[in-house]
């Protein structure tokens, strides 16, 4: 369980760092990248532990490192997708409102 706690804390921190470094971070909530990172990290940790990677000699790094990397990548992907999508939707709505 210590590894799950560390995975959750590190992925949450990575999600907040990703949010802070995004230039379009005003388009979506503060906790969204962190939440996505935590969910992906925790679910992947559960899958890796259920698959038995946590108790095999030489493979114990998988439930420690890989969920943190997957959570960080998921947060980056979420920020990239939502930043562009929300910006285009907001611009379209603003243009419609100004045409009235």
Mean pLDDT for 85-92 is: 82
pTM of the model: 0.84
CA pair distance 10, 67, nearest whole angstrom: 10
CA pair distance 1, 7, nearest whole angstrom: 10
Structure tokens at 5: 């706690």
Does residue 66 have a pLDDT over 80?
yes
The total number of residues shown for the chain amounts to: 100
14-57 residue pLDDT tens: 999 999 998 887 778 888 999 999 999 999 999 999 998 887 88
């Amino acid at each position: 369980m210590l590894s799950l706690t560390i995975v959750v804390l590190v992925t949450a921190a990575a999600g907040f760092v990703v949010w802070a470094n995004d230039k379009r971070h005003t388009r979506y909530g503060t906790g969204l990248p962190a939440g996505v990172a935590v969910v992906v990290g925790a679910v992947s940790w559960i899958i890796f532990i259920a698959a038995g990677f946590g108790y095999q000699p030489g493979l114990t790094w998988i439930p420690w490192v890989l969920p943190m990397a997957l959570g960080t990548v998921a947060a980056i992907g979420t920020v990239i997708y939502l930043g562009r999508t929300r910006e285009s939707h907001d611009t379209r709505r603003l243009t419609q409102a100004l045409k009235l």
